[in-house]
Structure 1
Amino acid sequence: MYRLYDYSPSGNGYKVRLLLSQLAIPFSYVELDILKGETRTPDFLAKNPNGRIPLLEIEPDRYLAESNAILFYLAQGTAFWPADKLAQAEVLHWLFFEQYSHEPNIATPRFWLCHVPELNAYQTTALPYKQEQGYQALGVMDQHLAHHQYFVEDRYTIADIALYAYTHVATEGGFDLERFANVRRWLADVARQPNHIPITQTVFEF
């Protein structure tokens, strides 16, 4: 059985929880509090030297890190990964977009505003710039979704899971999603997918 090391508020961890649940794959869940340094212990660093969650234990002493790499691994041979070569590249396009343009600018303000007791000078200065870039990423998504139900082949794939994770909680980072009608429609479509779970769910039965 898979074992997932995670921090429940994490959107990156939620991606993996969501896909595992939608694939009905049993897994055990290990909560680690990143705010208490629980991913910086010698024991965890032996599993992932980068000291980050999520981390998926595939089999004893064999681990896979990085949320989108885990999505790719789990999606192979399923409906969440397209068969067409170009469509596969398009999924990767959105996974790279999510990690480079989207997640750093939407997840970071959320973390600062929800989990940091008091912003330091850098965070106070950087927050509006991060939010501006986050709005740009949301604009790109909204423009694409004006012509597509989902991000690739107009069907639900791991591209949608990756982008949904932090977009659906973007308001916690100070973002106004009322400006993005197509994104809001897409969020509702994703939430209606079979075996959908909320980001707050950490107890699983299979």
Structure 2
Amino acid sequence: MVTLYGMRDSGNCYKPRLLLHKLGRPFRHVEVNALDGSTRRQEFLALNANGRVPLLEIEDGRRIAESNAILLYLAEGTQFIPANVYERGLVYQWLFFEQYSHEPYVAVRRALMRFPERQKDATPERLAQTLKLGTDALAVMDKQLGATPFMAGTTLSVADIALYAYTYDAHQYGFELEQFPAVSAWLQRVEADPGHVPEDWVPTEEA
């Protein structure tokens, strides 16, 4: 059984939990919280020198960090990564988009407004920047989703899982999702896909 180190209250950590549940793959969840400093303790740094979650430990003890890298590892050979090389390239395109154009603004704004530890950084300038650039990213998604039902084509992939994790609740942090009807319809399609679980879901000990 694989072990996933992560926070329940993190979109990046939600991504692999959601995929593992969709795959029906049992795993052990170990709560490691960046907000209380536990990711900087020596015992965790021995597992991941970068001191970040999520972190996946596979059965033989080897480890993989970074949420989208974990998604690609877990989805290898499944329907969540296309077999066609071009379609697979589109999945990679949207994974990079998520990390460079979406997460730094949508997810960062969420953290600034959600976690008391981050509110000292929530200056009016930073909030305005994250709102503008996050809205720009949602507009790019909306254009794509006006042409295809999922981010990389006609079927749900790891690109959708990656982008869903910080989009589904973006309206709570000032993003006006009603401006983006294609994104709103896509959120409903992702949530209707078999095996969907909410962000705070973790397996029981028996899993």
Pairwise same-fold verdict (TM > 0.5): yes
**Runs of 5+ consecutive residues of structure 1 not aligned to the other structure:** none
Task: Spell out, residue by residue over 1:27-73, the C-alpha distance to the aligned partner (whole angstroms, 9 max, x if none).
Answer: 00001121110100001011011100000001243110000000000
CA pair 2-137 structure 1, distance change in 2 beyond 3 A: same
**Runs of 5+ consecutive residues of structure 2 not aligned to the other structure:** none
Q: Structure 1: which 4+ aligned runs deviate by more than 4 Å?
A: none
Distance 1:198 1:145 in 2: 22
Q: Which of 58-67 and 94-103 deviates more?
A: 58-67
Partner of 1:116: 116
- Aligned identity (percent) is 46
Partner of 1:20: 20
Partner of 1:76: 76
One-letter amino acid of the counterpart of residue 80, structure 1: F
1:149 aligns with 2:149: yes
- Whether contact under 8 Å (1:39, 1:45) holds in the other structure is yes
Q: Matches of residues 19-168 of structure 1 in structure 2 within 5 Å?
A: 19-116=19-116, 119-120=119-120, 123-168=123-168
State the superposition RMSD in angstroms: 1.4
- Whether contact under 8 Å (1:4, 1:56) holds in the other structure is yes
- Whether contact under 8 Å (1:68, 1:162) holds in the other structure is yes
Task: Spell out, residue by residue over 1:12-41, the C-alpha distance to the aligned partner (whole angstroms, 9 max, x if none).
Answer: 110000000000000000011211101000
- Whether contact under 8 Å (2:28, 2:203) holds in the other structure is no
**TM-score normalised by L of structure 2:** 0.95
CA pair 118-45 structure 1, distance change in 2 beyond 3 A: closer
**TM-score normalised by L of structure 1:** 0.96
- Whether contact under 8 Å (1:11, 1:199) holds in the other structure is yes
Tell me how far 1:118 sits from its aligned partner.
6.8
Task: Spell out, residue by residue over 1:117-175, the C-alpha distance to the aligned partner (whole angstroms, 9 max, x if none).
Answer: 57336633211111100000000000111111011231111010011000001123221
